[in-house]
Amino acid sequence: MNRTRKRYFKTQTTPRSRWMWLAGSVVVVLLLIQVIVSNRLATSGHDITRIEQEIQTVNEENQLYAEKIASASALMAIADKAKQLGFVTPVNPIFLTRDLPVALNLQ
Amino acid sequence: MKRQTLVLLMFLGGFLLVAAKLFYWQVIVSERLVEAARDQYFFSLNLPPARGKILASDGSPMVTNKTAYLVYGEPKQISDRNIFVNKVTETLKLSKEDLIQKLAQANIVWVSIAHRVDEGKAQELKSMSLPGLGFEKEAVRFYPEGSMAAQLMGFVGSDTNGQDKGYFGLEGFYDRALKGKPGSLLQEKDAQGLPLLLGTEKRIPAENGQDLELYLDRSVQLILENRLQAGLQKYGAKAAMVAVMDPKTGGILGTAALPKYAPAEFNKASPQSFPNPLVANTYEPGSTFKALVMAAALNEKVVKPETKYNETGPVPVGEYLIRTWNSEYHGDLTMTQVLEKSSNPGMVFVGQKLGKDKMLDYLNKFGFGQKSGIDLEEEAAPGLRSADDWKEIDLATASFGQGIAVTPIQMLRAVGVLSNQGKLMQPLVVKKIIDVNGKVIENKPRLLSEVIKPATAQIITEMLIAAVDNGEAKWAKPKGYRIAGKTGTAQIAVSGHYDDKKTIASFVGYAPADDPKFVMLVLLQEPTSSPWGSETAAPLFFDIAKDLFAYYSISPKD
């Protein structure tokens, strides 16, 4: 029977009909691929949600660190910290010039 | 046959019924059904933009954003109302009665308890795991430097639609640039509410607000804030203001005003403290104005520094007598000495030499009677009377700074002309506008006009140096520096006459005079220790100047 079929196909199919069989097979294969890929991607919602939540968490942490950096580097905060460490505002800065005086009054 | 026809008709009837029902669902009510289905399988979200930051000249944030929370309650989910109310009000410091009243409202699903709750308090509440307590994130403005330059920054409140809006200062002026544009997300989701990668997604990303980088120098600002606070207390003034400008660029390096408010808690402050006095307040400048009138007269060559005026006594002008500030008269005075002694009769002489038309012309050229164009909201611009309305006495009083109203920024900008070779610059607060993509729009210095010749500017500078070195405030001047400036003590007009006790004491000047790094105006309103500018505003100016010299590493010449 198989030989009969093969002989039938050989005698009954033309080049044009072979191309059509080929095109049809490609379409079927592509459809199958689409179904498989869609199936796999359809459940990726979990991953998307997880990634988006991670992005949000990281952004929130960045925001928090930026706030802490801004607070710590505020001039008022630095001035207070400097005071605690014993720094004082110079009352009379000493200027070094090209012409040095004979004596300096440091008071 | 009849039965066959009947069956056929029955089938046809059934078919028509089904078709009619399908027509009803698919055509007549289809829009409603599509909407309902969209709610089930589409998820939509508004993407709020982040408001732009305001940065100092070194890139440090003066105003930025932080996460806060809207705390809300769902009355139907609350298991024990007493515990809920006690814990929430204790943590958030709210009134128990108010919260009980809110929760007792009939038929509400949720009720707002508190806005802008910080992260710490929110975490504390979350840890209590109270049923019926919910949290929604919202952005709130954060001020790392506290209330520094509060009036310059402005604050963010809500508009009539409940949307964030900037008010006063930079937040108000640049509200549109700072607020950005909201985005939106429309996403298809599955039965579990998870997004479908292959589904429909329409995303319009939010466009975050633009950042502003200022000319403001944080260190200069801190110096001004500290010194002004000390000066307000020392001289017992009702209010105080100081502003420092780079004369070459017009950039505002720092400005402070007292009383001030905390922008983070603007709702607790008096609305009177919101407008920035630098641009919103008007005052009569008094003797500081003499520098400008003298510069105008020198430029017109109607006087020279060595022109003499014989100061023998009060000068009659119409039915009025113009006296000196201390009723002392010094005989022959050069124009330089007129400034040193701050002689009112001497300035009347100069004003008369200049004439009404030229006086008005120079007032306009110096920028009075019009807005300075500074990029701040709430700028006032007291008008100048037309030439026809000016009487002889008006010319006389204007020559020593009374009878004319100006704003501090107008005064600062005008004196900046003397320090900048006669050139009038537009004052600017913002140096750069930076968008999220890093594109920078520079707010470059703008030269508006040349008011006086460079030679005149040099002459008036020398005269103002002499006014500082030999004037009433010479005792407070830092040694070894050439500072050009002028004291001012203006009476305050109250109900059509001048109060004989209350004054506005001021000092305006620039240094180092040969190549000015800054021009500064100090104003003290109603100082009680002494009414005179030479004894209050001038020493405060010099204290600030000393700090600025040290900061800019400007050493004395001597």
Domain boundaries, chain B: 71-122+131-214, 218-264+273-551
Q: What is the pLDDT of residues B271-295, one digit of tens each?
A: 989 999 999 999 999 999 999 999 9
User: CB of A71 within 8 Å of any CB in chain B?
Assistant: yes
Closest-CA distance, A22 to chain B, in angstroms, reads 29
Cβ contact A45–B219 (<8 Å): no
> Which residues are paired to B140 by β-bridges?
B66
Q: Is B58 in CB contact (< 8 Å) with chain A?
A: no
Distance CA B134, CA B71 (A): 6
Does residue B196 have a pLDDT over 80? no
ipTM of the complex: 0.71
Give whole-number Cα distances, B495 to A90, B389, B492, in Å. 47, 20, 10
For the residues of B133-164, what is the DSSP string, one character each?
EEEEEEEEEE-TTTTTTHHHH-EEEE-TTS-E
B403 vs B192, more confident: B403
CATH match for B71-122+131-214 among 3.40.47.10, 1.10.340.30, 3.90.1570.10, 3.90.1310.10: 3.90.1310.10
Q: A66 vs B67: CB contact, 8 Å cut-off?
A: no
Q: A–B: how many Cβ contacts below 8 A?
A: 60
Domain covering B218-264+273-551, topology: Beta-lactamase (3.40.710)
Distance CA B158, CA B275 (A): 17
- Active-site pick, B287, B372, B399, B534: B287
pLDDT digits (tens, 9 = 90+) for B450-475: 999 999 999 999 999 999 999 988 88
CB contact A95 to B (< 8 Å): yes
> Burial code of B132-171, b = ≥16 C-beta within 10 A, e = fewer?
bbeeeeebbbbbbbbbbbbbbbbbbeeeeeeebbbbbbbb
Residue B534 CB coordination number (10 Å): 22
Residue B492 near residue B526 (C-beta atoms within 8 A): yes
Say whether B287 is catalytic: yes
The pLDDT tens digits for B162-184 are: 788 999 999 999 999 999 998 88
Residue A91 has pLDDT above 60, yes or no: yes
Q: Give the whole-angstrom CA distance, residue B40 versus residue B42.
A: 6
Which among B120, B77, B72 is positioned nearest to B99, based on CA atoms? Answer: B72
The token pair that represents B482 in the structure block: 């050439």
- Which candidate in B197, B260, B481 is best for mutational testing of the A interface (most A CBs within 10 A)? B197
Q: Which residues of chain A have a CB within 8 Å of the CB of B64?
A: 66-67, 70
The continuous run of DSSP H or E covering A15 comes out as: helix A15-42
Angle between the N-to-C axes of helices B356-365 and B344-354, in degrees from 0 to 180, rounded to the nearest 10: 100
Question: Cα B237 from chain centroid?
Answer: 22
Q: How far apart are CA B69 and CA B115, in angstroms?
A: 6
- Residue B513 above 70 pLDDT? yes
Amino acid type, B403: G
